[in-house]
Amino acid sequence: MKHLNRKIIYDIILSKFFFIVGLSCLIILFIIMLFLFIEGIPVLNHVSLTDFIFGTSWYPTSDHARFGILPLISASAAVTLLASLLAVPFSLAIAIYLSELAGNLIREIIKPVIEIIASIPSVIIGFFGMVVVAPFLQNNFDLDTGLNLFNAALMLAFMAVPTIASICEDAISSVPASLKEASYALGANRWQTIYHITVPAALSGIWTAIILGISRVIGETMVVLMVAGGAAIIPLSIFDPVRPLTSNIAAEMAEAAVGGPHYRALFAIGIILFIITFIFNIIADYLSGKYKFKEG
């Protein structure tokens, strides 16, 4: 009996231990937030919130340092928008093809290939953009530099396609067969069924995929650091060199004095990125939870 008791106590202690470790993700998330805010918020001693967000000049190292991140925000927005425009239709086509049209064998081959592409380190994609795509753009479009907004968007789209396509594919595959069968029974052909039934039914999943994809594009650092060109200006053409938020942090952190205004400003940019991706993730989570098809 004593032995049994000990086992049960042991079990209870273990379950408490698992609970505490289980909370670690939330704790880590909280600590990340805490440290970003501790390091970033004091930038407001040097610049007002409106000047920080809407200021158009970013000269962190000059004698009269200016910390306006509008050029960086607009660069991030432009790159993200362009990358999404390139990636979303393509991903959707892949997802529809894989879930509705492709045979089993092709699916078994393409799905791992997509996963492999998703696993290529971003620094490799950035490197490819630098040594192959940039010279190509420069020569064929008669540009000053091939390292620009368009190049970055192209590389980011390449990175986003696997993410968006695989989540879309899951969403489309989870549409119950009975819906499609009903559509066929009413005389609809395959394309009509996909267009009018399957895709609308999977729409919340597709939106989740797009939002997660966009969120990854905003946060991607190495690619934009290497191929976006790095000029802190508000882009007027898709061939302008730009400097998105993420690459700005990566490029300047090494030279910013710890605790100085520049250092604070970079952490404040980190806060902005954190908040943006946080919101996107909450939306994605909400959408994916809301309209899930029940199995059966």
Partner 1 sequence: MLGYIVKTGFSALSWEFLTTFPKDSMTKGGIFPAIIGTLYLIIGSSIVSIPVGIITAIYLTEYASNEKIVRLIRLGVSNLAGIPSVVFGLFGLSLFVIFLKFGTSILAGSLTLGVLNLPVIIRSTEEALMTVPKTFREASLSLGATRWQTIYRIVLPGALPGILTGVMLSLGRAAGETAPIMFTAAAFFTPDLPTSIFHEVMALPYHIYVMATAGTKILETRPLQYGTAIILITLVLILNMTGLILRYRFRKKLKGI
* 22 in contact with partner 1 (CB under 8 A): yes
Binding track, positions 144-173, relative to partner 1; x by CB under 8 A: ------------------------------
How far apart are CB 197 and partner 1 at their closest, in Å?
Answer: 29
Measured from the CB atom, the residue of 9 and 182 that comes closer to partner 1 is 9
3-state SS, residue 58: strand
CA neighbor of 59 nearest in space, from 71, 49, 50, 48: 71
- The tally of CA atoms less than 13 A away on the side-chain side of residue 202 is 29
One residue of 1, 2, 28, 143 binding partner 1 per CB under 8 A: 28
**CA trace torsion 78, 83, 89, 93 (10° rounding):** -170
* 19 in contact with partner 1 (CB under 8 A): yes
Contacts of residue 6, Cβ cutoff 8 Å, sequence gap at least 6: none
Binding track, positions 224-263, relative to partner 1; x by CB under 8 A: -xx-------------------x--xx--xx---x-----
Both structure tokens of 161: 């396609």
d(C-alpha 224, C-alpha 282), whole Å:
25
* 106 in contact with partner 1 (CB under 8 A): no
Rounded to the nearest 10 degrees, the angle between the axes of helix 203-219 and helix 261-290 is 170
Binding site for partner 1 (CB under 8 A): 7-8, 10-11, 14-15, 17-19, 21-26, 28-29, 31-32, 35-36, 38-39, 112, 115-116, 119-124, 126-128, 130-132, 212, 215-216, 218-222, 225-226, 246, 249-250, 253-254, 258, 266-267, 270, 273-274, 277-278, 280-282, 284-285
